[in-house]
Chains A and B, each alone.
Chain A
Amino acid sequence: MVELELGMVAFAAAFAIGISAYSAAKAETEIGTAALGALAENEKLFVPSLILMVIPETIVIFGLVTSILIIGLAG
């Protein structure tokens, strides 16, 4: 029984980081496509594009923090 609970905790943690990583990746595909389009028109937009590109990565960080909290709270 203990092992099932442990498995559930691990699963929840994995779910937290997995889904947030997927969402960030999904967001980045769209931003990346648009950014490349913009870059083709104007190379000076490189830094703004780069910044926009990495903004969704915060989502993964939130997911990571949540996973760690889940594991930590479960002990």
Chain B
Amino acid sequence: MFHAEEMVKVRISGPKNLMKEIIGSLYDLNLLHVNPFKKKENDFFNSGNSFDEASEYSKTLVELRSVIDLLKIRKSKKIKKIENISQANARFVKIFEEVKFLNSELTGLRKEREAIKRKLEEPVLNLNVKPFLLKGYSNVKLFKGVCQSDFEPELKNEVKSYYLMGNNEETANAFILVVPLSEEEKTRKILLSHGFAESEIKFDESKKELESMLASVRKKIRLKRKELRAIKKKHKLFINSFEQALTQLNEKAEAPLQFASSMRSFFVNGWIPAESLQKFENSLSLAAKKRIHIEKFDAGEKAPTKLENPKPTNAFELFLDLYSLPKYYELDPTVLFSITFPLFFGFMLGDVGYGLLVFLISYTGLRLLKPGKQLKNLLTILLLSSISTIFFGFVFAEFFGVEFVHNPLINRVHGITQMLLISVLVGVLHINLGFVLKAVNGFAKHGLMGAIEEGISWILLELGVALVILENFGMISFGLISGGIISLIALVLMVKGEGFAGIIEIPSAVGHIISYARLFGIGLSSVQLALIINNLAGQHIWNGITGFIIGLIVILLGHAINLWLGVMGSFIQSMRLHYVEFFTKFYKGNGIRYMPFGWKRGD
């Protein structure tokens, strides 16, 4: 519960001619977390080679995935078992050729469509000149296009005779200019100096023709896409099944890359969960006809982490997934998370009405949505948090901001000092819990002295400082000397355990404790907003029918927004208190996720 699942390190060695059977069995067992073999200089063993068929498989897989991508086939759980791989392969080759051909045609058509579209956008088309008028001249030169600035005055000065059409706002500055052949060079220079862009339009393309061309290309594209859709519909199941089968084959064929091998034998290192060891050994030696040897070792520091927590606290593993998994030997704080997170959340939101709403939303979400693993965990977390929200709602006696009891246990709006004290006290407790966990981690690594130096020293320091402060307030008389001595001892231990970095951490620890004041700060802002909404609605709601409608809208909209803000705020702040203030005390993380060699269903 507080530790990752126990692992055993194993080394499996066997003859090479049985490698395929052994890999198949390992794959089906889905238990071994492989530790890849890395060759050192004078190792007798080499890294293994993948089976010959691997390159064939991965080539087909690339093609297969490109088809999946192209046809936009979604992954589905519906899979048909593929009995004969070479038959399936032949079927796929046909599909692939067809799809490839259709796709290249489609690409060509799309390019054509873009070209026509570009031409249609040319301003020269606005001039509506009959195409046959624009060709067949031998003594004059014809320019068509757009200039960025007005060239006509300059043209007038330089060129004696010309004919200009367009070049006004109506035609979006498009023009057709005709000059004698002898003036061609001069005219071109003038036009270029005004940013001339020549039109690509051929002389025989009118707007009408272009439009009908565009329509026919579009029709062709539609037909091709229809053909592709038909292929998708017909072969979807097959393609998905083939992809899965091939991926499995490929994973098996490439497995030896992580093995160590000699001429005739091989071995592989890895970890398996201790409770499955017996089953693992039996099935494997059966598959290898007993010609196999399995050595067992202690898990060691590098072992992978497989979190194991009872329901429903395992939903909180989400927070570790998002942050970083604990190392194998490290404490797994999931269960603690599952207690303190809902408490913090509830303390911040603390309203019976909001709690009920969150409960309903997360409960129906869990029931109706059939959520994936992450969303399911999130909804479970919200469900547990909403229960605590309802509990604190009764403590503060709040229902959508309305106080339903006159003298609640704690009044959030008026008992600010009280709330502040409670929050900081919670902070002190939570952070000290962190130090205790740090001591536990220290004990696991360096024994009793480790625990004292790394964790207990902090608690001692707090005790010493507390004694000094109490004397200052005149509550006790022996505080100054005893507190000073205790603090000094604590400091020495701290430096011994963590070096001077520990001392630098002291001010931040104080900051962390005050940081827990957010527990009431967030709540206070949430209540105040709810009160404002209620007041605003209250002013209108008994003022006739329109007032009633306005009031109702204010209440519904206001509380919806406030609920969203409150849930987001409470969730993120509670998460933050754990990640920043709590985890930094003891949590290292950076564990390796336990990923057994085998088929991973879904994600």
Using a CB–CB distance below 8 Å, which chain A residues touch chain B? 46-47, 50-51, 54-55, 57-58, 60-62, 64-65, 68, 72
Residue in contact with A50 in the complex, picked from B416, B521, B572, CB distance below 8 Å: B572
Partner of B322, one of A46, A65, A72: A46
Contact of B573 with A54 in the complex, beta carbons under 8 Å: yes
Contact assessment for A64 and B417 in the assembled complex, using a CB-CB cutoff below 8 Å = no
Question: B8: shortest Cβ distance to chain A, in Å?
Answer: 30
With both beta carbons as reference points, the residue of chain A lying nearest to B419 in the complex is identified as: A68
Interchain CB contact under 8 A, B572 and A61: no
SS class of chain A's interface: helix, strand, loop or mixed? Answer: helix
> How far apart sit A18 and B324, CA to CA, in the bound complex (Å)?
36
In the complex the two chains form, is B580's CB within 8 Å of A55's CB? yes
A60 CB to closest chain B CB (Å) equals 8
B323 within 8 A of A: yes
8 Å CB contact of A61 from B322, B323, B518, B579: B518
B509 at the interface (CB under 8 A from A): no
Question: Dominant SS at the B interface?
Answer: helix
Residues of B within 8 A of A60 (CB): 521
Size class of the B contact interface (CB-based, 8 Å): 10 to 19
Q: Which residue of B lies closest to A50 (CB)?
A: B572
B417: contacting residue among A51, A55, A58, A68, CB under 8 A: A68
Interface contact A61-B417, CB-CB below 8 Å? no
Is B120 interfacial (CB 8 A cutoff)? no
Query: Could you list some 20 contacts between A and B, CB below 8 A?
Result: A47-B322, A50-B576, A51-B576, A51-B579, A51-B580, A54-B576, A55-B580, A57-B518, A58-B511, A58-B514, A58-B515, A61-B515, A61-B518, A64-B517, A64-B521, A65-B420, A65-B517, A68-B417, A68-B420, A72-B417
- In the complex, what residue of chain B is closest to A46 when comparing beta carbons? B322
Cβ contact within 8 Å between A61 and B576: no
A-B pairs, 9 with minimum CB distance: A47-B322, A54-B576, A61-B518, A58-B515, A61-B517, A64-B521, A65-B517, A51-B579, A47-B323
| Residues of A close to B579: CB separation below 8 A | 47, 51
What are the residues of chain A within 8 A of B416 when measuring CB–CB? 68
A34 and B417 CA atoms in complex are apart in Å by 37
